[in-house]
Amino acid sequence: MNPIDIINKYYTEGSDIYNVLIDHSRLVADKALEIAGRHPELNIDKQFVEEAAMLHDIGVFMCDAKDIHCNGNEPYIKHGILGAEILRKEGFPRHALVCERHTGSGITKEQIMENNLPIPAIDMLPVTIEEKLICYADKFYSKSKPGKEKSIDKIRKSMEKYGNKALERFDKLNSLFK
């Protein structure tokens, strides 16, 4: 499966949002593959990681995030769910789970309900080693500041605003993959 073929069904090649998506996703994929290479003991499916990392943000075009050229109507927090719907429709349910579970360090049902988030009230936590790896690698790159890798300290600081549980989940991922 070529992830670019799927992306090209939903994005106009060369458009601003296409470039943001491809650039960000490539950085995330490369970071995830580099980490996987350092951890052969984890038996990570590298082909899946590359494909899923390239597709993890496919739903952003439906969201309202003007700073990254997204002119949709949905809140940005829904990009993972929207991407999961696309990938399930395309016949890639395993890749869809990465979309659904990569936001933040994962989101619990309780967090969704407590914060009245406009997404289904279900646990959206990365489960497989590949899901965890992509979730982790994604934290190093912002779509609004392309190409600039964040430090662990900067990631931790940004995760603090989501509460101790989110920060603890990130710290567990960091311990696993450092």
Q: What is the pLDDT of residues 9-41, one digit of tens each?
A: 999 999 999 999 999 999 999 999 999 999 999
Provide the b/e sequence for 47-60 (b: ≥16 CB within 10 Å). Answer: ebbbbbbbbbbbbb
The domain that holds 150 is classified in CATH as 1.10.3210
Please tell me the pTM assigned to this model: 0.95
Domain count of the fold of the chain:
1
Which pLDDT tens digit goes with each residue over 56-68? 999 999 999 999 9
Q: Which domain, by its residues, includes 110?
A: 3-177
User: Which carries the bigger pLDDT value, residue 26 or residue 147?
Assistant: 26
**Residues 103-136 pLDDT 10s:** 988 999 999 999 999 999 999 999 999 999 999 9
CA atoms within 13 A on the CB side of 117: 23
